[in-house]
Amino acid sequence: MAHAPTVLIMGPPGAGKGTQAGHLVATYGLLHVATGDLLREAVAAGTLLGLEAKSFIDKGTLVPDDLIIGMIREVAAELPEGSGLLLDGFPRTRAQAIALDKMLGVLDRDVDVVLDIRVPHEVLIKRLSGRWICRTCQTPYNVDSRPPKVAGVCDLDGGELYQRSDDTAEAVGTRLEVYETQTAPVSGYYRDHGSLVTIDGDQPSDEVRAALDAAMQPVTAG
């Protein structure tokens, strides 16, 4: 591998980021930093950050930039040197993207590639309403398209499957709207910087994976 890459995975809720992030982490040895997972851990642990973030998460709106940027700053400070990084769910606003550039600059790193997964709105609604996630390893399942072998149990580690509190019809609608208005413009930011690769997420998971691998090729070659 040429150097420790910094990779972003973007896409609306339900685009398959969680599934594909697992593949990218396993294949390219990246450290996975998913802001949604970190926030849910903070809520479960009852930390100050968790208490401040909970109402935003439950409504499906964005947690304020300063809280998220502070959280990522702590991750960046503890990043092992030479470690490849996969940022998942961050940045979600232009202000977060600018803050990330500054943090990476201090570490003498750059965003190498932004994997932007696109999926039509109606497909997302269907995926999110049938989604169940493993409490232990976060693997997502879907009652229609990817059911577990045993209902309510993770195929991989036997963990309990649960439905996220923000996968309700109301919060899903808000999250998709927030994505369109606040996060989709971040793609434009990275397109201007030349690091954006658009991936069709409305195809079988293997094909999405192959498209992601192709996009990773220039980053990991050499």
The Cα 62–Cα 48 span in angstroms is 17
Residue with the CB atom nearest ligand AMP in the bound state = 36
State the nearest-atom distance from the C-beta of 116 to ligand AMP, in Å. 15
Query: What are the C-alpha distances in Å from 69 to residues 24, 96, 205?
Result: 24, 7, 31
Positive or negative, the CA dihedral 93, 98, 99, 100 is: positive
49: which DSSP letter? H
Could you give the residue numbers annotated as active site? 17, 92, 131, 164, 175
Question: Minimal CA–CA distance to 147: which of 136, 155, 156?
Answer: 155
How far the first Cα of the chain sits from its last, in Å, is 6
State the nearest-atom distance from the C-beta of 99 to ligand AMP, in Å. 10
Give the phi and the psi of residue 214 in degrees, each rounded to 5.
-65, -40
Q: Which residue, 90 or 189, is less far from ligand AMP as judged by CB?
A: 90
Q: Which residue, 89 or 201, is less far from ligand AMP as judged by CB?
A: 89
Residues lying near ligand AMP in the complex (CB under 6 A) are found at: 13, 35-36, 39, 56-57, 60, 62-63, 68, 89-90, 92, 96, 166, 175
Q: Which residue, 112 or 167, is less far from ligand AMP as judged by CB?
A: 167
State the nearest-atom distance from the C-beta of 102 to ligand AMP, in Å. 16
